[in-house]
Chains A and B, each alone.
Chain A
């Protein structure tokens, strides 16, 4: 596909967010066949054991649990606050950082260890050329 004929749909916010032509978006990691370490995105060498060439793509789960969080009240100009910055451990391996949404941003409403789902939405920001991006969020399950 040439540059001019770029796909018309949204672009992924990060390279490890995959958007298949037919099917749902998902997060992709890499698994080291030697030691089992899981990384976000593509890589050729494992930083846990140093093995090269035995890393395989792995589709990451859309289910996980909230490991830890912070409620961000001050950020760069133009960034809407408060919001919840969250670290989520995915079922079957992989840890991802993102915004936790659909929850009141106060400590009393957020439980570390709570089950969350990864959900995909159009990001509320466009690049300078006006392109849309697909991003992921975490949402309390149920």
Chain B
């Protein structure tokens, strides 16, 4: 089976673009990625498109209607917040299977100021939100964080430090929605949404798009390996049965299983990672994933953030892009945008926020309900 390489990748600056359509946003990112790879739409043999909020509206085809209707197969995927990674993995599998040499991946979302997400309920009767607890994402991820607090004594302040870090990181990322520092007191004193997550500890609803051109080894050599990034592992898991999962979504076990498979596939371990872009949809979540991804031992995540080991310049920098907390979280685009971040560091093109000497990086997303997507990327040249 051929190895798979990222030949081109780019993203739009995340923000709010009500004047544009979802396909227009996707098309802009797609053109940037094609240009970065040095190929045209005529070279692309298949499109894998990730979008959540218009999942039934043929977004991939409508992107091609903007940039070139070549008749290639289009697969639209939706997998909650793992949508972009799922589309990416679809393209990866098609090259692994030997079907294509060049495929295009687009992740795109237009969320606007969507407000609180989740809590749909459904069925007849009376609305249950706020009557039988909360199904809204801030509370769901607050409860997941409280499980860590219960086990290890993790504090509100430790959770809040994640937000301080990611906001500071974003000051060096021009493509981030926000580029503002948020000191600890500001984070902790911000409006409480669902304890222990304040408003600054919740990801930002934005519009955005990111795209990648994936190629076979043969095509990568033809295009030149200098900036090629190897996809050393691509893993997707769903939530295996655990005792409370159906009432309290378990984002830990599916992440742990995905991480174990990804390390095995890449022949690498957590100690080999130079940077990680993980799914900080809420500050509480980032703490959990330090342990889930093996960045520290069990119960050591609080210490990891206290000792600034996941800050830029620390032992294992996490979310140097600013993460979902500051860069923003356009659901379907998130899982491709995090690839852009890691690939940019591996190419040595991250400018002021460059992680020096980065050779291996990991991306991680969680779609609640649940899906976990993990990719390991490696520098080639």
Q: Does A87 contact B (CB under 8 A)?
A: yes
Q: Does A19 contact B (CB under 8 A)?
A: no
B159 to chain A, nearest CB (A): 12
Q: Does B246 contact A (CB under 8 A)?
A: yes
Residues of A within 8 A of B127 (CB): 125
Which residues in chain B, 63-91, are within 8 Å of chain A measured between CB atoms? none
A70 touches B194 (CB 8 A): yes
B172 to chain A, nearest CB (A): 30
A92 to chain B, nearest CB (A): 13
B126 touches A126 (CB 8 A): yes
Q: Mark B123-134, 1 if CB is under 8 A from A, else 0.
A: 011111111111
Q: Mark A50-90, 1 if CB is under 8 A from B, else 0.
A: 00000000000000000111111111100111010111010
Q: Mark B242-277, 1 if CB is under 8 A from A, else 0.
A: 011011100000000000000000000000000000
A130 to chain B, nearest CB (A): 11
A40 touches B150 (CB 8 A): no
Complex Cα–Cα for A71 and B143 (A): 9
Which one of B116, B146, B197, B246 lies within 8 Å of A68 (CB-CB)? B146
A128 to chain B, nearest CB (A): 9
Q: Mark B40-80, 1 if CB is under 8 A from A, else 0.
A: 00000000000000000000000000000000000000000
- Given A69-B146, A87-B143, A87-B247, are A133 and B133 also a contact pair (CB < 8 Å)? no
Which one of A40, A70, A124 lies within 8 Å of B143 (CB-CB)? A70
Complex Cα–Cα for A40 and B136 (A): 20
- Given A47-B241, A76-B130, A123-B131, are A70 and B139 also a contact pair (CB < 8 Å)? yes
Give the residue among A48, A74, A99, A112 with the most B Cβ atoms within 10 A.
A74
Q: Does B138 contact A (CB under 8 A)?
A: yes
A86 touches B133 (CB 8 A): yes
CB closest chain-B residue, reference A93: B243
Residues of B within 8 A of A70 (CB): 134, 138-139, 142-143, 146, 194-197
Query: Can you list 14 A-B pairs, Cβ within 8 angstroms, ordered by A?
Result: A71-B192, A72-B193, A74-B191, A74-B193, A74-B194, A80-B130, A86-B133, A95-B244, A97-B132, A97-B133, A99-B131, A99-B133, A107-B156, A136-B132
Q: Does A9 contact B (CB under 8 A)?
A: no
Which one of B134, B195, B244 lies within 8 Å of A75 (CB-CB)? B134
Give the residue among B131, B156, B247 with the most A Cβ atoms within 10 A.
B131
A85 touches B150 (CB 8 A): no
Q: Does B147 contact A (CB under 8 A)?
A: yes
Query: How many Cβ-Cβ contacts under 8 Å join chain A to chain B?
Result: 125
Residues of A within 8 A of B147 (CB): 67-68
Which one of A13, A48, A68 lies within 8 Å of B150 (CB-CB)? A68
Complex Cα–Cα for A74 and B191 (A): 9
Question: How many residues of chain A get a CB closer than 8 Å to chain B's CBs?
Answer: 42
Complex Cα–Cα for A124 and B128 (A): 11
A95 touches B243 (CB 8 A): yes
Complex Cα–Cα for A14 and B128 (A): 9
Complex Cα–Cα for A13 and B127 (A): 9
Which one of B132, B133, B241 lies within 8 Å of A48 (CB-CB)? B241
- Given A75-B136, A85-B194, are A68 and B131 also a contact pair (CB < 8 Å)? no
Residues of A within 8 A of B146 (CB): 68-70, 112
CB closest chain-A residue, reference B135: A97
Complex Cα–Cα for A97 and B146 (A): 14
Which one of B125, B130, B195, B248 lies within 8 Å of A71 (CB-CB)? B195
Q: Mark A14-58, 1 if CB is under 8 A from B, else 0.
A: 100000000000000000000001011000000110000000000
Complex Cα–Cα for A85 and B156 (A): 17
Q: Mark A108-127, 1 if CB is under 8 A from B, else 0.
A: 00001100000000011111
Which one of B131, B136, B191, B243 lies within 8 Å of A135 (CB-CB)? B131
Complex Cα–Cα for A11 and B123 (A): 14
- Given A70-B194, A71-B194, A74-B191, are A40 and B130 also a contact pair (CB < 8 Å)? no
